[in-house]
Amino acid sequence: MAWDDAAWRRIAERGVHAALSGWTDERSIATTERFGAHNYHPLPVNIVRARGALAWDASGREFVDCVGAYSAMAHGHLAEALVREAKAQLERATLVSRAFYTPEMALFLEALAEYSGLDMVCPMNTGAEAVETCLKLARKWAYTVKGVPEDQAEIVVCENNFHGRTTTIVGFSTEQRYRRFFGPYGPGFRTIPFGDAEALEAAIGPCTAAFLAEPIQAEAGVIVPPPGYLARVREICTRHRVLLIWDEVQTGFCRTGRRFGWSHEDARPDLMAVGKALGGGLLPVSAAVGVRGAMEVFEPGDHGSTFGGNPLACAVAVAAMAVMEAEDYAGRAERSGAFLREAFERAGGCAVREIRGRGLLLGVEFAPELSPDRLQEAFLAEGLLTKETRSRTFRFAPPIATEQPVLERIAERFEAAVRRAAGSV
Ligand SMILES: Cc1ncc(COP(=O)(O)O)c(C=O)c1O
């Protein structure tokens, strides 16, 4: 495209979609590859429109979206109630910064604290920011409340964790491809195996501020810890006066069939990071949520974000939680997840080695005889959007709002794709 004065003016006057008129899928992909940093390896699918659990490319091909924006798309694309809320807020105010108060942020803070069963909220935008906020809170709590000598605080984390992409967070990742070449990294983290409560007990020392973990390790291949682990961890943290931080960015807001991943057991955290589905699929909205004793350590100037808590995001997030509650998203995720799990088991036969997950967060691990590349091609050929996480495991996290006929379409396409990848069609 020639970016001369006339081109800028045309867009300013007629809008972006006039400029995009006639763009093919190939043109979008080629332009992205030329001008975008290559920090992702997307599937060769160019989505121009999406609604509910369905998405279409420029040629009009329909796909069922089981990536669900990595679990962020709980309400489905362009959920009517949320779009209505966003439009109403666009008539009022969108961004004023934290230099001021807004009624929308006030309502959001109260609603999220209530929804979480916790006391206070620090609004952010992305999941990684929410995790960073929890880490800062935990360290300051350790120095100012627990009495850990300054700069000695330690946070216990798990092997194969995924908490985002900031330099602090990748610094305690155990995955080489996330951390290599981005060091040097700071000290202050100790790594233990996931799902092993004894290892946590052994790792805790006098300077331990917190234990940070995901209730289900989604990016690691949908790894569910053994029954009792969440409650055990809670009990150990309480006994040693260590803050328990759950990263609920992916598992939160009904994805696993309960409000939060920790809600399956008696494992209420001191701090938790939430994000993704909180934005209703429209906007990035995240937060650190916690008990008063931990949240209160923040003073003015300790932390912040220009966009965190903006009234547009807050209005959408309150509506997103209201829809989840009013339409029983927890129950729906549980029922839809059970339906898909059974359908995948039946259709996959011996091609499927294991199905892991909870609610509508499912990881299907295929047998080693099936090549992941062929499976990926077959899923796309059948119009099913899913992506490999790790170790031949494909994640299925369609919108929680997905209706039964579309769930049935997912099951049919899954079966056809497995047959295609196995070479029997
Ligand atoms: C458990 C978990 N924590 C944190 C993040 C980071 O969220 P974001 O990409 O919004 O920074 C993710 C993203 O996938 C996640 O799954």
What is the per-residue pLDDT for 156? 99
pTM: 0.97
Q: Distance from the CA of 249 to the center of ligand 1, in angstroms? A: 6
Cα–Cα distance between 167 and 7 in angstroms, integer?
38
Mutate to test the pocket of ligand 1, among 70, 158, 162 (most ligand atoms within 8 A of CB): 162
Residues catalogued as catalytic: 162, 247, 276
Using an 8 Å Cβ cutoff, are 417 and 381 in contact?
yes
Retrieve residue 329's tokens: 């998203």
Q: Where does 265-369 have alpha helices with state H?
A: 292-295, 311-326, 329-348
Instruction: Note whether 349 and 226 are same-domain residues.
Output: no
Instruction: Note whether 148 and 287 are same-domain residues.
Output: yes
In this structure, the residue with its CA closest to atom 7 of ligand 1 is 127
Cα distances (angstroms) measured from residue 397 to each of 73, 210, 254, 276: 9, 30, 12, 13
Q: Output DSSP code: residue 223.
A: B
Residues 221-270 have pLDDT tens digits of 999 999 999 999 999 999 999 999 999 999 999 999 999 999 999 999 99
Residues 128-180 have pLDDT tens digits of 999 999 999 999 999 999 999 999 999 999 999 999 999 999 999 999 999 99
Q: Distance from the CA of 341 to the center of ligand 1, in angstroms? A: 24
Instruction: Note whether 85 and 63 are same-domain residues.
Output: no
Q: Distance from the CA of 235 to the center of ligand 1, in angstroms? A: 26
Instruction: Note whether 176 and 273 are same-domain residues.
Output: yes
Whether residue 389 has its Cβ less than 6 Å from ligand 1: no
Retrieve residue 183's tokens: 């060091």
Can you give the residue range of the structural domain that contains 252? 80-326
* 3-state helix, strand and coil shares in percent for the chain, rounded to the nearest 5: 45, 15, 40
Tell me the β-bridge partners of 355. Answer: 364
Instruction: Note whether 57 and 28 are same-domain residues.
Output: no
Cα–Cα distance between 155 and 188 in angstroms, integer?
6
Instruction: Note whether 363 and 409 are same-domain residues.
Output: yes
In this structure, the residue with its CA closest to atom 4 of ligand 1 is 163
Q: Exposed/middle/buried for 87, CB within 10 Å: 0-12, 13-18, 19+?
A: exposed
Q: Distance from the CA of 128 to the center of ligand 1, in angstroms? A: 6
Retrieve residue 33's tokens: 């590859």
Instruction: Note whether 265 and 121 are same-domain residues.
Output: yes
Q: Which of 326, 345, 361 is the last residue of a domain?
A: 326
What is the per-residue pLDDT for 179? 95
Tell me the β-bridge partners of 247. Answer: 273
Retrieve residue 43's tokens: 């599937």
Using an 8 Å Cβ cutoff, are 210 and 244 in contact?
yes
Instruction: Note whether 171 and 100 are same-domain residues.
Output: yes
What is the per-residue pLDDT for 424? 60
State the CATH number of the domain containing residue 48.
3.90.1150.10
Strand arrangement of the beta sheet that strand 120-124 belongs to? 120-124, 286-290, 271-274, 243-247, 208-213, 154-158, 189-192
What is the per-residue pLDDT for 141? 98
The residue with tokens 């805790």 is: 204
End-to-end CA distance of the chain: 43
Instruction: Give the three-class secondary structure for 191.
Output: strand
The minimum-distance atom of ligand 1 relative to the CA of 131 is 4
Whether residue 214 has its Cβ less than 6 Å from ligand 1: yes
What is the per-residue pLDDT for 143? 98
Cα distances (angstroms) measured from residue 389 to each of 1, 136, 172, 221: 35, 29, 19, 5
Instruction: Note whether 406 and 389 are same-domain residues.
Output: yes
Instruction: Note whether 223 and 250 are same-domain residues.
Output: yes
Retrieve residue 162's tokens: 């995924």
Whether residue 321 has its Cβ less than 6 Å from ligand 1: no
Using CA of residue 165, residue 138, residue 284, residue 326, what is the dihedral sign?
Answer: positive
Total structural domains in the chain?
3
DSSP string of 299-323, one letter each residue: -TTS---SSTT-HHHHHHHHHHHHH
Instruction: Give the three-class secondary structure for 410.
Output: helix
Whether residue 164 has its Cβ less than 6 Å from ligand 1: yes
Using an 8 Å Cβ cutoff, are 376 and 388 in contact?
yes
Instruction: Note whether 235 and 333 are same-domain residues.
Output: no
| Mean pLDDT (10-residue bins), the chain, 425 residues | 93 96 97 97 97 98 97 97 98 97 98 98 98 98 98 98 98 96 97 98 98 98 98 98 98 98 98 98 98 98 98 98 98 98 94 97 95 95 94 95 98 97 76
Strands 62-65 and 54-57: antiparallel
Instruction: Note whether 125 and 227 are same-domain residues.
Output: yes
What is the per-residue pLDDT for 390? 80
